[in-house]
Structure 1
Amino acid sequence: MPIPARTGVIPRSLLRENAYRSIRDAIVDGTLTPGERLHDAELAQWLGVSRTPVREALARLEEAGLIHTRPGRYTMVSPLDVRAARAAQSVTAAMHELAVREALPNLSTAELDAMRSANTRFAEALRTDDLDAATAADDEFHGVAVTASANPALRSVLEQFTPVLRRLERLRFSSLSGRTSVTLHDRIIALCEAGDVEGAAAATRENWLTLDPLLVDPAQT
């Protein structure tokens, strides 16, 4: 039997998405540091792809504010920008509030249980100072409502702005206790279970505004 021509070929869209996520995550977790110069060829070699998906990924990362490019001169990881983080916080808080409003009327028992499980892992990760696990669990907790909202536009906006906040958390997380978030997560779950849309939405917004202590310009301290 003739072998299909496309068997084993990874779609270009998947290569582009994987390149984007890999570079984004390396910036967020500090592997690629603020001010570090980025080179297409080195990134392509690291990721095992051609330069095309790398360049497409870098264009998306610049839109998200994670890199800065001067055409023909350099591409570098953007310095930490507190003003951009404040803007991202406002948008992210509003989107998660909207997600809860849209999801809550149809939120199932299984989804509430998933939120509880994620918050348990979040609390344990904070207790053991495992930032990777804490971030993953926090994303999973909030992701329940985002998925249940079935709103692709909302997810797209969060995909763009959340990494800016995650990066800030990682750079300064040692100065912020996440225990308040654990308590707020429990409160959000209880309000969702009670069917209190307004209360759950307000608690969700409050949860994202707990990042305020991180959003202090060093020049002002």
Structure 2
Amino acid sequence: METLRPVRRTLLRDTAYEAIRDAIVRGDLPPGAPVRDADLAERLGLSRAPVRDALARLGAEGLVESKPQSYTRVTRLVPRDVREAAAVVRAMHELAARVAVPRLVGADITVMRTANHRFRDAVGRGDVAAALHADDLIHDVLVAACDNHAVTATIERYTPLIRRLEWRRFGTAGTAHGSAELHDRLIDACEAGDAEAAARITAEIWRALEELADEPDGSVEPDGSAEPDETSAPDRSGA
């Protein structure tokens, strides 16, 4: 039957990773919050093994930190970490723009303009999730057209560190990386086939995130790391 086609199988560890990562980025698991594999496994309806794999990956990416037989927690927001991640992501997006622009077709420009309409509407409604999703769609066109696996992997690796701060500040400070107007300029440059202009505008959009890390916010730790409160319960879950 035409409707009966193979269903894509998603590894449980990837499902766990995406769910926990998104909870951290959105602040459902706030900076400094303890995380235990048994608790997360129960909440996700999974066994502990894929959750442990997910926490290990999140630890490598700087979203979770652990001390053996002591704690596993969500990392705190440190300005230096955000600045460094934003600088790397900016460089990758600049490269993607330079390579991608000559390869774009009319359908790509249409996708970008449609996404920017959604971005503008979401910003007006204060819908953080929709705005950031639309923003991703715009830049993803260039990343996909660039077709560089190292660029894609690097962006995926470091963007969550930045996105945490964006998510926390979007509603109160009106902050989302870039603006509809900057996106319009970027899309116009892409449509005109001006790769250098597209790269410059892309850099302008992402450089704002490096500056965002330096704005005062009670949720952001000073540069450096801090040990958890001594009154915090130790993590004995084996995560």
Matching of residue 166 in structure 1 with residue 163 in structure 2: yes
Deviation at 1:8, TM superposition (A): 8.8
In the alignment, the residues of structure 2 paired with residue 217 and residue 179 of structure 1 have an alpha-carbon distance, to the nearest angstrom, of: 14
SS across alignment from 2:12: helix
Quick one: structure 1 residues 217 and 194, their matched pair in 2 at CA, closer, same or farther if it must change by over 3 Å? Answer: closer
TM score, norm. by length of structure 1: 0.90
Quick one: structure 1 residues 81 and 106, their matched pair in 2 at CA, closer, same or farther if it must change by over 3 Å? Answer: same
Deviation at 1:211, TM superposition (A): 2.1
Higher RCO (CA 8 Å, separation ≥ 6 residues): 2
Written as runs of structure 1 = structure 2, the 5 A alignment for 1:90-169 is 90-169=87-166
SS across alignment from 1:34: coil
Deviation at 1:70, TM superposition (A): 0.6
Quick one: structure 1 residues 148 and 175, their matched pair in 2 at CA, closer, same or farther if it must change by over 3 Å? Answer: same
In the alignment, the residues of structure 2 paired with residue 46 and residue 85 of structure 1 have an alpha-carbon distance, to the nearest angstrom, of: 29
Letter in 1 for 2:182: L
In the alignment, the residues of structure 2 paired with residue 170 and residue 179 of structure 1 have an alpha-carbon distance, to the nearest angstrom, of: 10
In the alignment, the residues of structure 1 paired with residue 102 and residue 47 of structure 2 have an alpha-carbon distance, to the nearest angstrom, of: 46
Moved more, 70-79 or 175-184: 175-184
The count of corresponding residues between Structure 1 and Structure 2 is: 212
In the alignment, the residues of structure 2 paired with residue 130 and residue 195 of structure 1 have an alpha-carbon distance, to the nearest angstrom, of: 32
Deviations 1:133-180 (A, max 9, x none): 001111111111111111111111111100111100112222244496
Which residue is 2:40 aligned to? 43
In the alignment, the residues of structure 1 paired with residue 111 and residue 57 of structure 2 have an alpha-carbon distance, to the nearest angstrom, of: 31
In the alignment, the residues of structure 2 paired with residue 154 and residue 8 of structure 1 have an alpha-carbon distance, to the nearest angstrom, of: 29
Letter in 2 for 1:183: E
In the alignment, the residues of structure 2 paired with residue 178 and residue 21 of structure 1 have an alpha-carbon distance, to the nearest angstrom, of: 21
Give 5+ residue unaligned stretches, structure 2.
1-5, 217-221, 224-239
Between Structure 1 and Structure 2, which shows a larger proportion of helix residues? 1
Task: Tell me, yes or no, if the aligned pair for 1:17 and 1:57 is still in contact at 8 Å.
Answer: yes
Which residue is 1:3 aligned to? none
SS across alignment from 1:76: strand
Give 5+ residue unaligned stretches, structure 1.
1-6
Runs of 4+ off more than 3 Å: 7-11, 176-180, 217-220
- The alignment's C-alpha RMSD in Å is 2.0
Task: Tell me, yes or no, if the aligned pair for 1:112 and 1:193 is still in contact at 8 Å.
Answer: yes
Letter in 1 for 2:190: C
Which residue is 2:57 aligned to? 60
In the alignment, the residues of structure 2 paired with residue 138 and residue 25 of structure 1 have an alpha-carbon distance, to the nearest angstrom, of: 16
- Correspondent of 1:198 among 182, 186, 196: 196
Which residue is 1:29 aligned to? 26
Query: What is the identity percentage for the equivalent residue pairs of Structure 1 and Structure 2?
Result: 48
Deviation at 1:189, TM superposition (A): 0.6
TM score, norm. by length of structure 2: 0.83
